[in-house]
Amino acid sequence: MKAPNPYSRRDFLRTLLLVPASGLLAACARALGLPEPTHAASATQIAGTPVATSTGISLSPTPACDDDDDEPTIAQTEGPYFTPNSPERNSLLEDGMQGVYMLVSGQVLGTDCQPIPGALLDFWHADAEGEYDNAGYRLRGHQFADAQGRYQLETIMPGLYPGRTRHFHVKVQRPNGAVLTTQLYFPDEAGNATDGIFDSRLLMSMLSAGNGVHGEFDFVLE
């Protein structure tokens, strides 16, 4: 893993994270030639499907950091398709890419509930057809959390890989620390019940976002 750039990259992310998610959704939709999303009326849960529909169910995939003694995020298998040395970027979108626009955001925290500035996050996932790019870096990239430990990723919803439920892969590392390898999951997916790797502690909270979706998850590192 390359060492984080303590200056330009962090400054860039700090600026980007001040932009409302709705603005990013609209800009991305225009870039992909999709209808611009409308503002969500409220932060409501959506089903883990390509269509944003409200379920009204409240999910807490990560315990609230309010007792100064949080549980670390669990590790999961890397799987067969990790590729090292991915490009540094917080948007995995490319011209001509098909799929439902998705924003993934959250914080990287320690078990003391304090943010971890400069934490490395390396994401990879299947495309809308459930296929991984094992020859290049399509839908692969890493970034560094800002001074408040926040991260934000623009991508598309992953498709269904045979035998698995819908998921993201991610590696998270505090500066000079151990690497956490894990996965993120979608609520209300039919495949969750039959996927032997699925763990409900890694469910994202899903928010309605017009023509796209917004998943939130806080990583907690030891």
pLDDT in tens, 179-206: 999 999 999 999 999 999 999 999 999 9
**C-alpha separations of 114 from 65, 67, 68, 69, 182 in Å:** 9, 11, 8, 10, 20
Query: Looking at residue 68, what is its pLDDT?
Result: 53
- Tokens representing 156 are 């598309």
Question: Assign residue 188 a region: left if phi > 0, alpha if psi is -120 to 50, beta otherwise?
Answer: left
Q: Which of 13-27, 94-108, 127-141, 152-166 has the lowest mean pLDDT?
A: 13-27
Measured in degrees and rounded to the nearest 5, phi and psi for residue 151 equal -135, 160
Q: What pTM value is reported for the model?
A: 0.72
Considering the chain, what is the average pLDDT of its residues? 79
What is the arithmetic mean of pLDDT over 20-44?
Answer: 39
pLDDT, position 209 = 73
Q: Which residues contact 196 (CB under 8 A, 6 or more apart)?
A: none
Q: Any idea where the domains of the chain sit in the sequence?
A: 8-221
CA–CA gap between residue 131 and residue 86 (Å, rounded)? 17
Assess whether pLDDT exceeds 70 at residue 177.
yes
Interval 59-70 mean pLDDT: 53
Instruction: Report the pLDDT value the prediction gives residue 48, as an integer from 0 to 100.
Output: 32
Beta carbons of 110 and 220 less than 8 angstroms apart: yes
CATH code: domain 8-221 is 2.60.130.10
Q: State the Cα–Cα distance between residues 25 and 19, nearest whole angstrom.
A: 10
The pLDDT tens digits for 71-117 are 999 999 999 999 999 999 999 999 999 999 999 999 999 999 999 99
